[in-house]
Amino acid sequence: MAARATDFSAFGYLRAAAVAPRVRIADPLANARQIVDHLERLADSGAAVALFPELSLTGYTAEDLFGNTGLLHEAWRGLALVCECNSPVVAVVGLPWASPDSRLFNCAAVVSGGCVVGLVPKTCIPNHGEFYEGRWFASGAGLDLEVQSDLGAFRVGPNQLFQIGRHRFAVELCEDLWVPQPPGSAHSLAGAELLLNLSASNELVAKADYRRDLVRMASGAWLCGYLYAGAGASESTKDLVFGGHLLAAENGALLAESERFASGGGELLVEFDLDRLRQDRLRNQAFGASPRPGGHHLRRLAAVPPRLDELRRRLDPHPFVPDDAAVCDARAQEILAIQSVGLARRMRAAGVERLVLGLSGGLDSTLALLVCLDALKRLDLPAANLHGLSLPGPGTSEHTQTTVANLATATAIGLREVSISSAVARHLEDLDHQTENDVVFENAQARQRTQLLFNAANKVGGILVGTGDLSELALGWCTFNADQMAGYNVNASVPKTLVAHLVRWYAQHRAEAGLAAALERVLATPISPELHRTQAGGIGQQTEAIIGPYELHDFFLYHYVRNGFSPEKIFALAGLAFAGRYTGQEVKRWLRVFFERFFAQQFKRTTLPPGPKVGSVSLSPRGDWRMPDEAEAASLLAAIDALQTD
């Protein structure tokens, strides 16, 4: 499909490499040749930038040899070899550099277009435990020099930004990240979207876990991409062992990492979504309100990020549902806790001990049932305090009625069945409406059910619990002033794909045999509002045949609301995430449906009842999503219509 011809760099992706080459200690020319070999191999990889470890031209463990004039001279010659390399990849390599005032600095050299475009000195010099850098190196804090050399004119100082295309990166070195006020924080506030760290962090028991978390959390705190290259196992092992740990993180999430202790060195190639990071920064008022540092210098590079016809990073087709079993287990427990605690708190505030719930035999009301049971348990109230109502109408199937009965029996809740068919028929007669299976016929049923449920809640002195999920709210797949309304909607920020996951998890991990069987029956039932009369009494409507697959809509919803992506970018990413499952034409069709409905149905979200936020995406009009009912989608729909699917 169209994704094959897509240039993902146009959507803000930048591919970068972290490399841990084999080093020969105190042999800069040999090390430079190793670096050049890597750069030449990376030339056809689509990488725009290649990051090498701290002091990679000399080896980090050269110790007192750093004071040798010959080694410093050879390091500069090695840097010249890197400059002479024909690779278009911007190289960031480490070397010792002696300043004109006879101070020695541990530096990162940024090389592009055959010359050095900047030297960034390390500012935080460790001199404790196994580290002894203060013996050789001065801190680069406050340094700001302009240098004319045989390798180009460049600045030496920590406060530098480098721009490639429309993306900006900055550099810090090893210990700079581990201190209370890392330079990377200021670099990010000054505009760097990507931080590169040349490191030589040795391996100790559990240190890799701490290092990984440090990199990940730095990327989250600074809303940036973070690429880390650690010195490898070919460094001296006289007292320390280095593992060549390569890490990439983006806004708090680990994108990729290498295996450690590889004797032959290693490479980590990864894409950063820098447009997404810019969106995150624009939305984050804490980031926007933080004071900006002064004194940063910007160097625009002649290099251009290469075209990316594919992405190496994994694109999750179900961004709301974790694919790791351990994470899934913990996430399900946490979400159910948030939902049930929210409901229990509302019950205490209202001074009620009873709940009312309409049970349809579908996924949403089933999840709401499980949440209600947990809320009652938290308040030491019996399951019988949940009053379930089964409200069959003209389109209700025997299958779902049996499911409701099974759920009620398995959970020991109170259940009453009230047919709405005659009341709906009388209502339609009053309207002189003769047509069936149209919007009036459907909405009459939905509103009759809601009237009964609210009045039942009044009768028992309880709260009507809403069941509509986030995906339905996004699409407006609900009836205004009917299932759109409730006393408290526990599913308001749970998308459909996650609803199914939570019900399945409950069946597998918490339910006894009878309830588990009932839940599996729910999961096997086609999603349907059951508002159309069918001759056979079966399930006549199937929601996903009408409005499209929920897994696609949840993907669209996540990337539009959470990431602020354009329809073109969402389409391209969906083509990768769902390759082999949906054609380009299918993705385009349902993407248009999503945006048509998302904009046209905003008025239903403007008046939503309260409900707990459980994830990063919410459409609450009081919280995360404020949108005018009259917002226009014309330009977005035109962009979708222009998409090529061949």
Core vs surface per residue 359-396: b (16+ CB within 10 A) or e:
bbbbbbbbbbbbbbbbbbebeebeeebbbbbbbbbbbb
3-state class of 578 per DSSP? coil
Task: Identify which of 299, 310, 249 has the alpha carbon closest to the alpha carbon of residue 3.
Answer: 310
Q: Which of 107, 122, 124, 568 is catalytic?
A: 122
- Between CA 445 and CA 440 the distance in angstroms is 9
- Between CA 326 and CA 97 the distance in angstroms is 48
539 to 399, 420, 441, 449, 526: CA distances (angstroms): 8, 17, 16, 19, 8
427 to 101, 146, 204, 431, 580: CA distances (angstroms): 92, 84, 75, 6, 48
Q: Which of 83, 85, 174, 372 is catalytic?
A: 174
3-state class of 105 per DSSP? strand
Q: Which amino acid is at 192?
A: A
Six-digit token pair at 69?
A: 């004039």
Q: Is 174 a catalytic residue?
A: yes
- Between CA 131 and CA 179 the distance in angstroms is 14
Extended strands (E) in 491-611: none
CB 313 within 8 A of CB 15: no
- Between CA 449 and CA 463 the distance in angstroms is 15
Strand duo 115-121 + 246-250: pairing: unpaired
For helices 550-557 and 496-509, the axis angle rounded to 10 degrees is 110
Strand duo 145-149 + 152-156: pairing: antiparallel
Six-digit token pair at 168?
A: 């900006």
3-state class of 332 per DSSP? helix
CB 363 within 8 A of CB 500: yes
DSSP of 491-515: TTT--HHHHHHHHHHHHHHT--HHH
Q: Is 122 a catalytic residue?
A: yes
- Between CA 537 and CA 286 the distance in angstroms is 56
- Between CA 400 and CA 525 the distance in angstroms is 8
**What's the per-residue H, E or C state across 442-485?**
HHHHHHHHHHHHHHHHHHHCCEEEECCCHHHHHHCCCCCCCCCC
Q: Is 115 a catalytic residue?
A: no
3-state class of 189 per DSSP? helix
Secondary structure letter of residue 258 according to DSSP: P
3-state class of 210 per DSSP? helix
- Between CA 370 and CA 504 the distance in angstroms is 12
Q: Which are the catalytic amino acids? A: 54, 122, 174
